[in-house]
Amino acid sequence: MKFYASSGLLLRCLPSRLVVAAGLAAAALPHAVSAQDFGRQPEFQFYPGNLVVSRSVYDNLASNVTVGEQLPPNCTDGNCVSAINNGLFPYVFNNATVDGSFGITSRLYLDQMTPWGFPINSLEVPNSLMRGVTGSSDHLVTSFSSKSEGALDLSTDGRYLTFIDYVAPVNAIDVSNANTPGVIDPTNPVPGAYYRAAAMVDRFGRFSFTETNAYSGNNGRAAILNNTYGNPVFYTAGNAGNGSSPQPNGVVLGAGAQIFDLLHEPEANQAPGQPTPVGSFSVTLLGDKADKIGKDDNFRGMTVFDNVLYFTKGSGGNGVNTVYFVDTTGAACPNGVGSPSPSAKLPTAPLSYDPSTLQTTGLPSNMCILKGFSTTLAKSSTGVLYPFGLWFANATTLYVADEGDGYSGPDDIYTHAAGQTTAGLQKWVFNSATGEWTMAYVLTNGLAIGTPYTVPGYPTGTNSVTGQPWSPTTDGLRNIVGRVNDDGTVTIWAITSTTSGGGDTGADPDKLVVITDNLANTSATAAAGEQFITLRTAGFGEVLRGVSFTPDTGVDHDGDDEYGFGR
């Protein structure tokens, strides 16, 4: 069968018997092993052809938050609120109803499993709770319950798994809305400062981290290492800003689509400079009135296909929720909408801009809406989509995960979720006659959107703080990865989005699901029998975030390792 990584690169055929053998061999390994810094962990290995799912685990301690303590930490008098719940899960996230920046950093695990969901082992990302990790050690955490984080991708050569998170200790409060050390916004109600860092990990579980000052006041969401063409660089997607207007230059520069060099030094020796955007988009290209500077670039998903870098925007009240690409030719879309040039190259340098006009007109636009996709403003009352992950099956077939609108009350959240028509897995087909993409259908069977489900240990009934039911329901899909099979079908794995009456719906235990679609299908009628199957549901105090193939899936090694991991 043919495998396609989330980066969109075609990977070598891998016989299914090898996947089975790898899974059986790995099953004998301990369930949870860890890798720290660059050290080799001989007992851990990712096996080609398997899946990796990122899983965030909350450290369920009442002492994480004290009722009545002032939030955000070290807040000034004008920004302070009092915590209404202690640190016990999931009630702790009711504090998000009074502190709009509320979140607690948590450990991140990379779970390896077979494509059909059999668990193999789990790699813990180095963090402050691990034995031997000190303040000067390399470490990284995610934020519970920042639902847009944790995407997993493969580097452009397929050898490394990549993602982006925070350089902070576990159980730190409000890190996901804190500044970065090099970009301080004095109007941000969260006064702390933490670097964000892109991570890469090889098949033996060895980590490397590259810090950045991007995404000050907000979060990075996805990272892809381009190590195929010239100097290796990271592309990242995310959002910036948590303060008032005008935003500091560093916040404007640090939003959306970023590019920065891969660093080899330990985190303690790194000194990242100002953020370096690789792309930007303004709704003024569409003839619309300008938004708040930098907020059109609130990107969630990202992929690379056929030498083109793509992004999605699916949240926020500014800009357009749609699919974008970076136009490195400068001629693909003079009016903000178009298709990539066949001669397009991946970007290798930051976007040039005029510092004297940054606060008045923002960054110059070098991104385009992919022709056929929505140009409806996110602030519109109807017709708004919520794209997240995306995966190209081939040059004419694109699957887009739509996470749904996230409605959580005050009316019936389940009925509202069930009434959505575009949430789920959208299949888009390129029409060569018109030169644009069209949505063929939306796959939802088996997702049970709008139907509440229970998780052992998770509360039921009504949350007294929100007045809405605790039980979550699937609302759509977020991150995805797929492969093309020899029989003309495609198999796509996805992480569900949820909504509920919890204080923060990002804390809801979600699911890993899978579906097989006939690649040739172009109508909902033809796809009516296709159905999602649940492979895994997050447990109490857990959330699933990203899904990818393992490093080296379909890659031939020549024994070299230019990034110094060694053997």
**Domain extents in the chain:** 3-29+104-549
- Detail the DSSP E strand segments found in 194-318: 196-201, 207-212, 220-226, 233-238, 256-261, 277-279, 301-305, 308-312
Per-residue model confidence as pLDDT tens for the chain (567 residues): 444 444 443 333 333 333 333 343 333 333 333 333 334 445 899 999 999 999 999 999 999 999 999 999 999 888 899 999 999 999 999 999 999 999 999 999 999 999 999 999 999 999 999 999 988 999 999 999 999 999 999 999 999 999 999 999 999 999 999 999 999 999 999 999 999 999 999 999 999 999 999 999 999 999 999 999 889 999 999 999 999 999 999 999 999 999 999 999 999 999 999 999 999 999 999 999 999 998 999 999 999 999 999 999 999 999 999 999 999 999 999 899 999 999 999 999 999 999 999 999 999 999 999 999 999 999 999 999 999 999 999 999 999 999 999 999 999 999 999 999 999 999 999 999 999 999 999 999 999 999 999 999 999 999 999 999 999 999 999 999 999 999 999 999 999 999 999 999 999 999 999 999 999 999 999 999 999 999 999 999 999 999 999 999 978 665 455 554 433
Torsion angle in degrees (nearest 10) through CA of 347, 433, 437, 489: -100
DSSP string, 282-308: -GGGGTPPP-STTTT----EEEEETTE
CA 538 to chain centre: 17
3-state SS class at 368: strand
Cβ(103)–Cβ(144) under 8 Å? yes
Hunting for tokens 């061999």 — which residue is that?
A: 25
Question: What is the spatial distance between Cα 101 and Cα 107, in angstroms, rounded to a whole number?
Answer: 19
Q: Are strands 397-402 and 424-431 parallel, antiparallel or unpaired?
A: antiparallel
**How far is residue 263's CA from residue 284's CA, in Å, rounded to a whole number?**
36
In sequence order, what are the residues at sequence separation of 6 or more whose Cβ sits closer than 8 angstroms to the Cβ of residue 330? 366
DSSP state of 288: P
Do residues 104 and 170 lie in contact, with contact meaning Cβ atoms separated by under 8 Å? Answer: no
Q: 440 CB contacts (<8 Å, ≥6 apart)?
A: 427, 428, 429, 521, 522, 523, 524
**How many other C-beta atoms can be found within 10 angstroms of the C-beta atom of residue 246?**
15
* H or E segment and range at residue 537: strand 533-537
Q: Which helix (H) or strand (E) holds 415?
A: helix 413-418
DSSP state of 355: G
Q: What contacts 253, CB < 8 A, 6 or more positions away?
A: 183, 214, 274, 275, 276, 277, 353, 358, 363
Please check whether residue 327 is in contact with residue 338, taking contact to mean a CB–CB distance below 8 angstroms.
Answer: yes
Residue located via tokens 């008032």: 244
Strands (E) across 449-518 are located at 473-484, 489-499, 511-518
As a whole number of angstroms, the distance between CA 172 and CA 64 comes to 8
Phi, psi of 175 (to 5 degrees): -65, -35
Q: Give residue for tokens 């999605």.
A: 312
d(CA 388, CA 479): 7
CA atoms within 13 A on the CB side of 361: 9
